[in-house]
Amino acid sequence: MSTPTRRSLREQGASVGVPARPRDAPVPSGSTRGARRGIGRVLADILLWVAAIAGVVCMVLVMLAPTVNITLIMFRTGSMSPTIPAGSVAVVQEVPASEIEVGDVVTVDRAGDLPVTHRVTSIAPGASDAERVITMRGDANAGDDPYPYTVQTVRVVLFSVPGIATVIVAMGNPYVLGGLTIAATTLVVWAFWPRSAASRRRSASEEPG
């Protein structure tokens, strides 16, 4: 059985009385406009799905924060490069110090200073069963941090995403938030705005009878 070609399909249409459009006949402008509208609507649907997925991810993170102690941290420096370069965002979970192991990348809070996120190089018992004394080192550093850390809990890095810290910081800018809100509202209104009666009649006339 031979595969129907464009020419054979055209000849079949002529044999049943369907007029074939001349090859050089102009394409109706209405069909071009309809194609453009169709492409625009597909792009709008894609953007809406992306926005919906991003919203779901944000809601999941908000729910996880109080339930399983999962939060986000941003890396301003490159002390953990190349494993976690500057500008990355990491998902961290608070765990008891007794659960960490040498080689884990953890965040330790420091009184009066910013938290530090480095790799654990040694672990020693503390004054209590829940306490540990750990030393840490950034992957880009030649030596351990200047002093050990006495901790009962730490935030262990589960995974990191490079290059999105600037995006998250920008999201906190009121002007950026306002622009995104206006853009999202415009997109939703445009995607779901009912078409006029003239547009519906034109679309119906372009459909094959």
CATH number of 139's domain:
2.30.30
Q: Are residues 184 and 126 in the same domain?
A: no
Q: Are residues 155 and 84 in the same domain?
A: yes
Q: Are residues 76 and 90 in the same domain?
A: yes
pLDDT at 46: 75
| Within-domain flag for 16 | no
Digit-by-digit pLDDT tens for the chain (209 residues) are 444 444 544 454 445 454 555 555 454 555 555 556 667 667 767 766 766 676 666 666 666 666 778 888 889 889 999 999 999 999 999 999 999 999 999 999 988 888 999 999 999 999 999 999 999 999 999 999 999 999 999 999 999 989 887 776 666 556 655 666 676 667 666 666 665 554 555 555 555 55
Q: Are residues 178 and 144 in the same domain?
A: no
CA proximity to 86, closest of 135, 136, 140, 137: 140
Task: Name 206's Cβ contacts closer than 8 Å, sequence gap at least 6.
Answer: 28, 30, 31, 34
Q: Are residues 172 and 148 in the same domain?
A: no
Domain span at residue 112 reads 71-159
Phi, psi angle pair for 109, to nearest 5°: -80, 140
Q: Are residues 155 and 83 in the same domain?
A: yes
Q: Are residues 81 and 154 in the same domain?
A: yes
DSSP structure string for 99-155: G--TT-EEEEEETTEEEEEEEEEEEEE-SSTT-EEEEEE-TT-SS--SS-EEESEEE
pLDDT at 164: 82
Total count of domains within the chain: 2
Q: Is 163 left (phi over 0), alpha (psi -120 to 50) or beta?
A: left
